[in-house]
Amino acid sequence: MSKSISINLLLLDGVANGRIKCTINSRTGIIFKIPRKDLEKCKERIELENDGVYFLFGEEDGKHKIYVGQAGSRKNGKGILNRLNEHARSADKNFWTEAIILTTSDNSFGATEISWLEHKFCNMAIKAGRCEVVNGNEPSPGNITEEKESDLEDHAEFAQLVLRAIGYKIFEPLQKPSPRIIKPDEEIFYLPRKIKRLGRAIDAKMKITSTGYKVLAGSEVSPLDDSNLSANMKKLRHTKIVGGKLTEDIEFPSPSSAAQFIIGNSANGLEAWRTRDGVPLKNLPK
């Protein structure tokens, strides 16, 4: 059974869409969510003077984007917040509207640690594929001991856990939908076609069977034969047709021959036959 974990979420502004501080008891890690418009409110947050890594989120040109960065303490004693303010003033990364920050309560991250974490998170975001990662260069992981790597992996897991809890899935790979398998005699495919020479449209239906492609009774069949049709196809097209409609099911070896039977001309059946939603047969897995 999974162990329960209590995550402390402090709404610094008293609203869910404002600044949030996230911690877990017995851990030194701290995560802040800060809207770009609220950076000015963070001047008194001494934790934001520490070293850490951060993510800038936003949308641009209809795409979700993320920038993964690191911030070390400067000589003036300013760390992460100072770096975020630099980004806010720069037009270089003007897409972002929110920042997520990972730091520690005891300021235990140094240059080596934040470089490793920046590299870790950047590659995780690229692999997940949920956002466009706009880092110009791949961060370097640096050289760390096995013991230190184990400790930093723990911080990375903490960050992922908290981010999921507050609604960010940036490091979770997109789940590809299971391909829709076409089962014999279950799905109906449609072939609506306007016949110019006939001056009207026709409409036909088909099912895929275990042995072929069955055009269904009631389907409309164009009475006009193209000169390139075989003698057998021409003969078949004028059999079992009453009032321009097929009186019983006829099965064909391919979707193209089924389409040719309906329109009286050569046709690409994989393109012509479509689902009710208009998806061509060629786009469906078999």
Structural tokens at position 73: 């303490």
Average pLDDT over every residue of 47-75: 87
Mean pLDDT for the stretch of residues 165-193 = 77
For residue range 230-251, list pLDDT tens digits in order: 888 888 888 888 989 999 999 9
Considering the entire predicted model, what is its pTM? 0.61
Supply the pLDDT for residue 181.
60
Contacts 24+ apart (CB under 8 A), 173-180: 173/127, 173/128, 173/129, 174/128, 174/129, 174/130, 179/285, 180/284, 180/285
pLDDT in tens, 115-136: 999 999 999 999 988 889 998 8
Chain mean pLDDT for the chain:
88
Give the residue with greater pLDDT, 181 vs 218: 218
Domain ranges of the chain: 7-165, 188-283
Q: Are 187 and 207 in contact (CB under 8 A)?
A: yes
- pLDDT band at 1, cuts 50/70/90? very low
Return the minimum-mean-pLDDT range out of 41-50, 68-77, 88-97, 111-120. 68-77
- Residue 185: its pLDDT value, please? 64
Q: Look at residue 171 in the predicted model and tell me its pLDDT.
A: 87
